[in-house]
Structure 1
Amino acid sequence: MKHVPLSILDLAPVSSKGDTTEALHSTTELARRAEAWGYQRFWVAEHHNMPAIASSSPAVLLAHLAAVTSTIRVGSGGVMLPNHAPLVVAEQFGTLESLHPGRIDLGIGRAPGTDQRTALALRRTIQGLSAEDFPAELAELIAMLAGDPARVQAVPTAAALPQVWLLGSSDYSARLAGLLGLPFSFAHHFSAANTEPALAIYRASFRPSQWLDQPYAMVAVSATCADTDERAEYLAKPGWLSFLRLRAGLPIRLPSPAEAAAYEFSPAERAFVEQRRVGQALGSPSTVAAQLAELLGRTGADELMLTNQIYDLDDRLRSYQLIAELGERPASGQTGTLCLSSATAR
């Protein structure tokens, strides 16, 4: 029986009737509750020019979240390296690790995650990082974090490095994470068909490093839990509609469940939503327990990171609390060690 920690990835969703201030306060409350419930880590994602997402500046938001919590690890899921000079990221996360030693994760992504116009505004170029450029810039970032005297010095330099992760949804990132001996987080929530092949490549290509003696794979999965299967589906629909609008190039703030319920999905849209639901967790506690246990058994993940786009804060908190109640803690009762096992569904 394998026990794995549970963590949370949050996008600071901005609701159709709210604003970014409300969204950031909601994320703050969720981080506090996640710590109390025993989640292992709390990550925020970098997205730009998207009206439904307020987590555009992970380093700034993480400084706040780390200051209002005390034990849970906080980190980026992730910082998109094509958008930033390595020195800037090294300075930001060196500062965070200096302020909150032993609690900071630096998850790094290879894709800019935005359109060309926004990429130009971020880094003054629309040129992304090639397959050759990304490993070099990643190595430069890590060397700066470590205070390599041959590099420009990133100050503050923390006494210890933040925990560096590589994020991905492709074979490329999986192989690179393995070759570098880094922990790897796979975006199952939007690339479910690639999960098992990518994890197999990561494990096969893994080389022990200063970071890890053996591979460590985390799977990010969409998880919406409510008292009944029907209620969970009702709460999940706004996220589906928001993603459809984003995919069509017409991003909107997160609609309410009532607004999403009133929307008439076309046959093509319904088919797309059904495809995205495959492999995700959606339903009552018993349903979600079975789905997460199945995912854990199928992927052999060392950790599961849960994420959702639930409109109302109370419903969002309730979803994560219900899942927390499925988990187990060691006898010591210490926080940050909530675990799920493959036997949870039994």
Structure 2
Amino acid sequence: MLPLSVLDLSFVNAGATPADALQDSLALARHVDGLGYHRYWLAEHHALASVASPAPEIMIGQIAAATRYLRVGSGGIMLPNHAPLMVAERFKLLEALFPGRIDLGLGRAPGTDGITARALRRREVPSEGDDFLDRLQELLLWGGGGFPPGHPFGTITVMPAGVPLPPVFLLGSSDYSGALSARIGCGFAFAQHFGSSDAAEVLRAYRRQFQPSRLGERPHAILALAAVCAETDAEAERLAMSARLATLRRERGAYGPIPSLAEAENHPYTESDRLRMERGRARLHVGSPETLRAKLTALAAEAEADEIMIVSSIHDQAARRRSYMLIAEAWGLSVRPDPGDRSG
């Protein structure tokens, strides 16, 4: 079976605090480390009441230190918010501390609203435009030491020296990032959980167009999707009500904490609400272990994916951890020794 991985947005739950959400992320990472999951990626969002972590590089260090087997990375660093040199420094530092376990996933969006994005970038002229490609090129030059002779940046040493930049992945929900990933020869992760483009079409195109480079000899396509698993289809549908209500509210601009199951069950849905949630079913995969195994296997085969990455916004943390456990068991992942036991 394909590797399974986790995408964690550090969702804030109704009745809990953002600090609780960060601790929940650490607990979930330790949990899936022993279940056989391959990667654990952290997202970057700003000024959203529903997401606790604006700094994936800090969470990466904490989670890598608390786990033993997982590759830990960013899903992703929103590059327009950051100086490329600082990204190179921070991820080389992480790679030095946890060699062979760090990934650098990069996104084009700001991960926030326009006003907050402007505050992050300190742009006084909004018409400066999208400089993602310039920042990406500069970051790759910092990583490869390839500034041309005479370039003023050529005299700068990116510390820690002698440490490579971790593997680079571009993230996206359209064919733009897929085509760019193929052109520069890096990995690509498609966000099926919120993308409007056809995941299979985009990932297959990425694979066909891939050009080997120093970033990668072969394509690596990750299909990121939302899933909720429980012992039965009916119980999984019940647990998914919190995520469905949260999505409904986000579509209307309300980025609040993930509602409790009781709140979701008792919400006064209109007929329009129910139609919107029904249309969103293709983005949230729900069911028993057997149901989800069949769904995810079919999706991965159609998209020619190399890996599946799962995000789950279940309100109850015990149920969330159990969801990942049931999926791992159905997928046939091998349970690993206790990550706390360093004797092996």
Look up the match of 2:29: 31
Amino acid at match of 1:255: P
Amino acid at match of 1:302: D
Of 224, 227, 233, which residue of structure 1 is paired with 2:228?
224
Q: Aligned partners of 1:162 and 1:271: how far apart in 2?
A: 43
- Contact kept in structure 1, 2:7 and 2:311, CA below 8 Å: yes
Look up the match of 2:59: 61
**Compared with structure 1, are the counterparts of its residues 333 and 36 closer, same or farther at alpha carbon in structure 2 (3 Å cutoff)?**
closer
Matches within 5 A, 1:113-152: 113-125=111-123, 127=126, 130=129, 133-148=131-146, 151=153, 152=156
Look up the match of 1:84: 82
Shift of 1:334: 8.7
Look up the match of 1:170: 174
Q: Aligned partners of 1:298 and 1:335: how far apart in 2?
A: 35
- Contact kept in structure 2, 1:183 and 1:216, CA below 8 Å: yes
Using the size of structure 1 for normalisation, the TM-score is 0.90
Look up the match of 1:155: 159
Cα-Cα RMSD:
2.2
Indicate the SS of the match to 1:12. coil
Using the size of structure 2 for normalisation, the TM-score is 0.90
Q: Aligned partners of 1:61 and 1:158: how far apart in 2?
A: 24
Look up the match of 2:342: none
Q: Aligned partners of 1:181 and 1:15: how far apart in 2?
A: 38
- Contact kept in structure 2, 1:82 and 1:129, CA below 8 Å: no
Greater CA deviation, 91-100 or 245-254?
A: 245-254
**Compared with structure 1, are the counterparts of its residues 279 and 244 closer, same or farther at alpha carbon in structure 2 (3 Å cutoff)?**
closer
**What percent of counterpart residues are identical?**
43
Of 246, 249, 261, which residue of structure 2 is paired with 1:245?
249
- Contact kept in structure 1, 2:34 and 2:336, CA below 8 Å: no
Kindly indicate whether residue 208 of structure 2 is the aligned counterpart of residue 200 of structure 1.
no
Of 41, 44, 62, which residue of structure 2 is paired with 1:43?
41
Shift of 1:165: 0.4
- Contact kept in structure 2, 1:7 and 1:305, CA below 8 Å: yes
Indicate the SS of the match to 2:115. helix
Matches within 5 A, 1:277-292: 277-278=281-282, 280-292=284-296
- Contact kept in structure 1, 2:34 and 2:337, CA below 8 Å: no
Matches within 5 A, 1:290-305: 290-305=294-309
- Contact kept in structure 2, 1:101 and 1:160, CA below 8 Å: no
Shift of 1:38: 0.7
Shift of 1:13: 1.2
Look up the match of 1:326: 330
User: Any unmatched runs of 5+ in structure 1?
Assistant: 337-346
- Contact kept in structure 1, 2:189 and 2:221, CA below 8 Å: yes
Of 291, 309, 316, which residue of structure 1 is paired with 2:313?
309
Count of residues in Structure 1 that have an aligned counterpart in Structure 2: 332
Indicate the SS of the match to 1:161. coil
Kindly indicate whether residue 103 of structure 2 is the aligned counterpart of residue 105 of structure 1.
yes
Indicate the SS of the match to 1:250. coil
